[in-house]
Amino acid sequence: MISVIGLDELRAARLSLKGTVGLVPTMGYLHEGHLSLIRRAKAECDHVAVSIFVNPTQFGANEDLSKYPRDLERDLSLIEPLGVDLVWNPTPEIMYPTGYQTWVEVEAMTRPLEGAMRPTHFKGVTTVVAKLFNAIQPHKAYFGQKDAQQVAVIRQMVWDLNFPLEVVVCPTMREADGLAMSSRNKYLEGEDRKAAVVLFQALNAAKEAYQGGERDAEMLRSRMKNVLEAEPRAQIQYVSCADYNTLEELEVIKGKALLSMAVLLGKTRLIDNFVLE
């Protein structure tokens, strides 16, 4: 496994990889969710590249950039046994040197849901992912369904900008009680950690109703809200039942739909989603 920081080193290392390359972009503090993406890339590509970069431009001014968990040594020790070929761990100065002024922005699809709560978030995500794609030139790029809107936005960007690669979406990995794995779960303590299962429970309640034939989207949103409101520690930011492709809120479910939510538990912000097909 080659681990590089600078762009010149990265280019040299990339040139040494013959055949197909799968890229797994991450912000580090890796868990089983990230590792599942790497395993999938390994199974489908000749080589696997992993980027580890806590991207400052996707954090809002009042968000957790400075305290976002980091442990590069541990991350490297987790991915080396998986057969990763190349790790890129650039600094913020390498990605955004003094004088930097180019941004990639996807429009309508970034406005609802996460975009409504975090108005500058996706501009940072699409810009950094476009830079990763340009620098590493992968054949396939692996993302988690856990960040459903991110997947939709990146797909749109790849289509709009004609990036010659395939976006591969991998299922959400969960803890034994159903909590979606996330680097931010580290912030959850004691009772908040126990209460965090309520997101999974709310999604399941709506899914059961859907499987029972319910197609009224407002009824499904109510089901999720009722479960979340029964947990006094949980503070709802949004609950959504939207079209899977456009992310517009639905009245009636006719095709593929996305149930999603953002919930605060104490100061920790959690998101989760289910796809209804």
Stretch that binds ligand AMP, among 10-18, 97-105, 116-124, 179-187 (CB under 6 A): 179-187
Tracing tokens 């209804």 back to the chain, one arrives at 276
At which residue do the structure tokens 């289509």 appear? Answer: 159
- Per CB under 6 A, does 206 bind ligand AMP? no
Number of C-beta neighbours around residue 86 at 10 A: 21
Minimal distance, residue 141 CB to ligand AMP, in Å: 9
Question: With binding defined as CB under 6 A, does residue 273 bind ligand AMP?
Answer: no
| Residue type (1 letter), 174 | R
116-122-123 Cα angle (round to 5) = 115
Q: Provide the mask over 12-41, with x wherever binding to ligand AMP is found by CB under 6 A and - wherever it is not.
A: --------------xx-----xx-xx----
Closest to 87 measured CA to CA, from 134, 40, 136: 136
Site membership for ligand AMP, residue 170 (CB under 6 A): yes
Q: Which residues have C-beta within 8 Å of that of residue 64, sequence separation ≥ 6?
A: 184, 187
Residue 128 interacting with ligand AMP (CB under 6 A): no
Q: Is 139 among the residues known to form the active site?
A: no
| Comparison of 270 and 276: residue with beta carbon closer to ligand AMP | 270
> Least distance (Å) from ligand AMP to the CB of residue 218?
28
Residue 230 identity: A
In the list 57, 110, 172, 240, the residue contacting ligand AMP (rule: CB under 6 A) is 172
Q: 39-69 burial string, b = 16+ CB within 10 Å, else e?
A: bbbbeebebbbbbbbbbebbbeeeeeeeebe
**By the rule CB under 6 A, 147 interacts with ligand AMP:** yes
Distance CA 33, CA 146 (A): 9
Binding-site member from 118, 146, 207, 221 for ligand AMP (CB under 6 A)? 146
Per rule CB under 6 A, is residue 144 in the interface with ligand AMP?
yes
Q: Which residues are known catalytic residues? A: 34
Q: Which residues bind ligand AMP (CB under 6 A)?
A: 26-27, 33-34, 36-37, 143-144, 146-147, 170, 172-173, 180-183
